[in-house]
Amino acid sequence: MNAPLPEHIRKALETVSLDDKYTLDHGRAFMSGVQALVKLPMLQRQRDALVGKNTAGFISGYRGSPLGGYDQALWKAKKHLAAQNIVFQPGVNEELAATTLWGTQQMGFAPQGSNRFDGVFGIWYGKGPGVDRCSDVFKHANMAGTTPWGGVIAVAGDDHVAKSSTAAHQSDHIFKACGFPVFFPASVQEILDLGLHAWAMSRFAGVWAGMKTIQEIVESSATAEIDPERVNIILPDFEMPPGGVHIRWPDTALEQETRLMDYKWYAALAYVRANRLNHNVIESANDRYGVIASGKAYNDTRQALADLGLDDDTCRQLGIRLHKVAVVWPLEAQTTREFATGLREILVVEEKRQVIEYQLKEELYNWRSDVRPDVLGKFDEVSGDHSGGEWSMPNPSANQLLRANADLSPAIIARALAARLKKRGILPEGSDVAARVDAQLAILEAKERAQQVLNASTPQADRLPWFCSGCPHNTSTRVPDGSRAMGGIGCHFMTIWMDRSTNGFTQMGGEGVPWVGQQPFSNEKHIFANLGDGTYFHSGLLAIRQSIAAGVNITYKLLYNDAVAMTGGQPVGERPEGHSVIQIAQSLQAEGVSRITIVTDEPEKYHGAHHTTVGGITLKLPEGIKVQHRDELDRV
């Protein structure tokens, strides 16, 4: 038990560091999914150097769960990124951040001799709602194209169960609408591996690549293999159009559309096919039943099979084939058809609305009926009815198989899979394997019943989220008797369940604007709207501008923290001087706000106060702005 460690292990332990994930060029290191996204551009830069290319990287975006800590991780790794020519510049909001990434690819037609590098590769990041607001710039940038040694990955942080969002989110369909191939890693290691593939595809096909991340993957941690040459990239033999697929100037909208629809998507598919990014994980010569999944749903499917007692060897004996999809759109047809050949039925396991299922049905539609497998996913079959899918039913919810709302769990998948395997005769009634599966299902059911009993018998300690102790906005968000307020995005969203007469909310940057559509038809004369300073800097100033333009009677409570409190306390504006109360007051006065009052616990600090910007401009509090103590809030 006390034997000395081998010499090579002892020496390794002497030098081990938490920075290994960033400093190691080769080896294994423990990291989270977010930290893998920090390491990823370093690996790309090293790969380029190995083939004699001097490239640089650029990262921009806007924080939001589950990528809320990405910017902080990038700041902490600043020296490691700088050593690899990688620049991190957060965006004022997601849309402007995406525009900066478009700019990195526009260096493809920069003036001769002005480029310092052979190319600039980039990462955009944002939460699901940020993907939504970027669709315009995403479409334009994707049609314009990338550079041969640049490329862009757009990383979306999706919140499938609205854990920290005002709506459950799925970015796959927005990425698809913008024409981005969509990668969905299932592990920390795959964030690194598929990230390198995503850049290679982006360069080869001239498209931006989307990468979908969710909490269960990007916030998990694991030991990952670090090696810039770990991924063997194969560039397919594909006939490109005259002039290629990369960004150029001048260029016309219809020429861009033609390149995207006739060449770039098919070049991306050729890349997926050549690199076997979608592949069978379990297969045998006599398979009859297929299961196809990606990302978290793939991990849950593996767990469901294990929970049913169906290990890989048992699956092969029963004729169960499992297909793992790394690029969920566009779904590569040749590999998919190879997977489907010989099967009688395919179960599509994916969370939220159908992406893979609809593509699979389209690709198999024209097969002869005697060889075409049935495809099920969100809904079960109607017994003996092959007349159509769920849209042909008045209400298909009675035949739900794998729900589209919320998320999936291994237990949900296990029940659906067992039911279909029995229906198809893969688990013959009375067989030993069927008995084992039934026993495992009984265990799952017993666990769920026990949990239900526990929940029913244990008094629920309902403790709603509340403001942090000492937070001034615990009082700032109160309104005078007889008044009401509108909510928005930020910590103050919590006021909708507090005793604050606050109802309704908007998307980020729309705070208070619903009143523009209400006041002409209401007997109310005035309303309050809460707006955080982080949201103000992001896009909230435009909401105030809209209210001024409409001439409505509204009081904005601009809740000042000098930090984006909800996502980790990042500075507002990411500049040394922050975005001060004086700057905000100057801007609001210039916009035409009729009355501005500063309410604070320390009125004296504004006597003679001034603010000097990075550019050396000294700002003072505008004339006519009153400063009142917080105790006077109701009177104000």
State whether 259 and 288 are in the same domain: no
Q: Enter the tokens of residue 447.
A: 């666990």
State whether 283 and 258 are in the same domain: no
State whether 117 and 255 are in the same domain: yes
**Residues 6+ away with beta carbon under 8 Å from 6:** none
Flag whether 10 is in a domain: no
Q: What is the per-residue burial (b if ≥16 Cβ within 10 Å, else e) of 178-192? A: bbbbbbbbbbbbbbb
Q: How far apart (Å, rounded) are the C-alpha atoms in residues 343 and 363?
A: 15
State whether 333 and 426 are in the same domain: yes
Q: Are 29 and 21 in contact (CB under 8 A)?
A: yes
Domain that holds residue 307: 279-451
Q: How far apart (Å, rounded) are the C-alpha atoms in residues 119 and 200?
A: 13
Flag whether 608 is in a domain: yes
Q: What is the CATH number of the domain that holds 92?
A: 3.40.50.970
pLDDT of residue 207: 98
Q: At what angle do helices 265-274 and 188-205 cross, to 10 degrees?
A: 130
pLDDT, averaged in runs of 10, over the chain (636 residues): 71 77 93 97 98 98 89 96 97 97 97 96 96 97 98 96 88 98 98 98 98 96 97 98 97 98 98 98 97 98 97 97 98 97 97 96 93 94 69 81 94 96 93 93 89 66 79 87 90 88 92 96 96 93 97 95 74 74 93 93 85 78 89 79
State whether 183 and 85 are in the same domain: yes
State whether 289 and 427 are in the same domain: yes
Flag whether 466 is in a domain: no
State whether 494 and 425 are in the same domain: no
Flag whether 606 is in a domain: yes
pLDDT of residue 221: 96
**Among 247, 274, 301, which residue terminates a domain?**
274
Flag whether 404 is in a domain: yes
Q: What is the CATH number of the domain that holds 400?
A: 3.40.50.920
**How many domains in the chain?**
3
Helices (H), 458-598: 473-476, 514-518, 533-535, 541-550, 581-591
State whether 186 and 311 are in the same domain: no
Flag whether 573 is in a domain: yes
Q: How far apart (Å, rounded) are the C-alpha atoms in residues 205 and 185?
A: 20
With the CA atoms of 205, 210, 213 and 218 taken in that order, what torsion angle do they form, in degrees rounded to the nearest 10?
Answer: 60
Of 127, 131, 107, 129, whose CA–CA distance to 119 is shortest?
107
State whether 51 and 156 are in the same domain: yes
CA distances 253 to 106, 137, 139, 460, 619, Å, are 16, 14, 11, 58, 44
Q: What is the CATH number of the domain that holds 627?
A: 3.40.50
Q: How far apart (Å, rounded) are the C-alpha atoms in residues 448 and 455?
A: 11
**Among 451, 486, 505, which residue terminates a domain?**
451
Flag whether 248 is in a domain: yes
State whether 41 and 74 are in the same domain: yes
Flag whether 2 is in a domain: no
State whether 71 and 147 are in the same domain: yes
**Among 417, 451, 485, which residue terminates a domain?**
451
State whether 192 and 338 are in the same domain: no
